[in-house]
Amino acid sequence: MPLPAGALPRAVAVLSFSVLLSARGAAQRRPAHSYNLKLHHSKALTSPYPGSHIERSQVPEDKVDWLTEWKDYDPVEYTAKSVLAGPSWADPQINDEGFSPKFNERDGEVERKSLNGLYVVENGRPRWKRDGSGNKIAHPVSGKNILQFVAIKRRDCGEWAIPGGMVDPGEKITATLKREFEEEALNSLQKSPEEKAKLEKQLQKLFSQEHLVVYRGYVDDPRNTDNAWMETEAVNYHDETGETMDNLPLEAGDDAGVVKWVDISEKLELYASHSYFIRLVTEERGAHWSEHPGSECHE
């Protein structure tokens, strides 16, 4: 169906994160044949750790590869305050009595298998390790339709991001996607039962449609350590006509300080790897990303 003059087709992309265990570890080294450092391993080198005064141990570039021998490597211990608070999505501390996680497999209601394959378990802790797989993806040339997406401004760091959050043990990812979008972009936690019911009815059509899985696996995130890292499933729900999304009352809530529609282009500067996920959406939808034809996305 053609859009009215001046209208923009809209895409809402929602992230769901699944953490393997408490965020405890070091400067985060990477193995041989890793993905592009700028894309996959730059924000994971952030220091100090987010929301703290703890400096991340510095790793020289020539010793980043785990295959490089470094006997003096003695990284600082760190666990985020948000993990120490004991939320439902976080594990107990790794040394807590009675806590014996089963790594590289499903552990009760907690999925500890990595989307990127097996990882090393050393001294009872998982250690980030990735292989050299990955595809090069060609990007569309300019002149394509401009998409918009719902962006939130995170309260914790002030950066713009895609709405999303942690998957609770036993929770289906589709349920996480819908819940987090409602909480962060529609402020559902502060709505009356009647208002919530109205929102549910409006969102039912959008979230019941076939969605596009944009990315699954490791993400470059400032909270990453050697022993705990973020993996995500980035999903795109698309509203071509605006019939659903135009009538939603956007209102920031929960972890979001601001929420708004944003035009998608290469000028976006978003939290962690979110710009990369948005870029993949434009590829899949055949939409505009860059003013420079022939640009490619290298992993």
Q: Considering the domain boundaries, does residue 67 fall inside one?
A: no
> Residue 88: pLDDT above 50?
yes
Domain around 281: 127-220+230-285
Higher-confidence residue of 241 and 51: namely 51
Strand partners, 238: 11
Q: Is residue 89 part of a domain?
A: no
What is the rounded average pLDDT of the residues 69-74? 78
Distance CA(203)–CA(208), nearest Å, equals: 8
Q: What is the pLDDT of residue 297?
A: 46
Please give the share of the chain, as a percent, with pLDDT higher than 70.
74
Q: For residue range 147-188, list pLDDT tens digits in order.
A: 888 899 988 888 899 998 888 888 888 888 889 999 998 988
Is the residue at 65 inside a domain?
A: no
pLDDT in tens, 110-125: 888 887 666 767 778 8
pLDDT for the residue 228? 87
What is the Cα 154 distance to its own chain's centre? 13
Answer for the pair 228, 20: CB distance below 8 angstroms, yes or no. Answer: yes
pLDDT in tens, 3-52: 333 344 444 444 444 333 222 223 444 443 333 434 456 777 788 888 88
pLDDT category of residue 280 using cuts at 50, 70 and 90: very high
- Residue partners of 156: CB distance under 8 A and separation at least 6: 50, 51, 255
Asked, for residue 42, whether it belongs to a domain, the answer is: no
Q: Does any domain span residue 196?
A: yes
Residue (of 11, 4, 2) closest to 244 by Cα position: 11
- pLDDT category at 132 given cuts 50, 70, 90 is very low
Number of structural domains found in the chain: 1
Which pLDDT score is estimated for 7? 41
Contact 8, 107 (CB under 8 A): no
Domain contains 122: no
H helices of 217-295, in order, are 274-285
Write down the H helix ranges in the chain: 37-40, 81-84, 173-185, 193-208, 274-285
Rounded Cα gap, residues 94 and 103, in angstroms = 12
Any domain includes 159: yes
Question: Does residue 181 lie within any of the structural domains?
Answer: yes
CA–CA separation, 197 and 201 (whole Å): 6
The tokens of 53 are what?
Answer: 């005064």
Average pLDDT, the chain: 74
Domain CATH for 155: 3.90.79.10
Q: What is the dihedral of CA 112, 114, 120, 124, to 10 degrees?
A: -20
Give the separation between CA 187 and CA 180, rounded to whole angstroms.
10
Greater pLDDT, 81 or 142: 81
